[in-house]
């Protein structure tokens, strides 16, 4: 991992951990998923924040197809998403969790408003932003996997058996920023701090809004714990 990747990884992880602690996300998800309705609400809603995210790799890849320094990290990330030869594809693992958590078929799931907003903001950004800004933002988002999935695995493990949680388990120790070393190296050192700041300023507030939207959505499905979810 290059020095800029390491710095970006550490900074993004710490900021995200602070957000998760401030919002008490793990505590609240643990409480809200104690009931079947709460677990189903989480699994169905988080599906829309996770399963379709892989398509952003393809949108970005199309924009930088002529420069392998830019697209090689996306190719590595797609290989990781496919299981990297060691696990089933990550979306397949999530579908196993979904099948455990809800009786509603995948084809009948409806995206909550907060998830649609999250999706639209990301897709617009990777289509329209400067390509290096978009790649840096994508790298920042990937850096959040470790704190986010460590929190989710811990929050859910008290309510769900280990096997359906394999999707969350495989993400607890990943460090994806290094996949983008070549792209990060393209940015002149004089611009690196600015590009990192811009990426953080896009990703972190959007991610915080996603957590808040998810918690509010879940609280409506589990009214007995609403006070905890909205406090």
Residue 15 in any domain: the answer is: yes
Residue 229 in any domain: the answer is: no
**pLDDT tens readout for residues 94-128:** 999 999 999 999 999 999 999 999 999 999 999 99
Residue 228 in any domain: the answer is: no
Residue 231 in any domain: the answer is: no
Number of H helices, E strands in the chain: 13, 0
Q: Tell me, what's the pLDDT at 169?
A: 95
C-alpha dihedral sign at 211, 144, 14, 173 = positive
Residue 216 in any domain: the answer is: yes
pLDDT confidence tier of residue 187, bands split at 50, 70 and 90: confident
Domain with 84, as residue range(s), is: 3-223
Report the number of distinct structural domains present in the chain. Answer: 1
With CA atoms as reference, report the closest residue to 231 among 10, 11, 27: 27
Residue 206 in any domain: the answer is: yes
Residue pair 1/181 in contact by the 8 Å Cβ criterion: yes
With CA atoms as reference, report the closest residue to 19 among 182, 159, 193, 212: 212
Residue 230 in any domain: the answer is: no
CA–CA dist 80, 197 (Å, integer): 26
**Helix %, strand %, coil % for the chain, to 5?**
80, 0, 20
**pLDDT tens readout for residues 68-77:** 988 988 998 8
Check which CATH number belongs to the domain holding 143 and give it.
1.20.910.10
Residue 164 in any domain: the answer is: yes
Only one residue has tokens 């590009």, namely 195
């Amino acid at each position: 991992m290059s020095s800029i990747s390491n710095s970006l990884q550490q900074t993004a992880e710490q900021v995200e951990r602070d957000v998760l602690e401030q919002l008490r996300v793990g505590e609240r998800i643990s409480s809200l998923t104690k009931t079947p309705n709460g677990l189903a609400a989480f699994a169905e809603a988080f599906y829309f924040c996770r399963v379709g995210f892989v398509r952003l790799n393809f949108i970005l890849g199309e924009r930088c197809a002529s420069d392998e320094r830019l697209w090689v990290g996306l190719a590595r990330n797609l290989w990781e998403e496919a299981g990297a030869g060691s696990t089933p594809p990550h979306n397949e693992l999530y579908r196993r969790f979904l099948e455990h958590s809800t009786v509603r078929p995948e084809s009948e799931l409806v995206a909550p408003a907060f998830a649609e907003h999250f999706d639209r903001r990301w897709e617009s950004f990777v289509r329209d932003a400067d390509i290096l800004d978009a790649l840096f933002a994508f790298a920042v988002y990937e850096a959040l996997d470790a704190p986010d999935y460590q929190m989710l695995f811990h929050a859910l493990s008290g309510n769900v058996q280990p096997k359906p949680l394999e999707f969350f388990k495989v993400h607890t120790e990943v460090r994806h920023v290094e996949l983008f070393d070549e792209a990060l190296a393209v940015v002149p050192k004089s611009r690196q701090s600015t590009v990192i700041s811009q990426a953080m300023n896009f990703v972190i507030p959007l991610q915080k809004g996603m957590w808040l939207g998810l918690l509010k959505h879940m609280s409506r499905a589990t009214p007995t714990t609403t006070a905890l979810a909205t406090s």
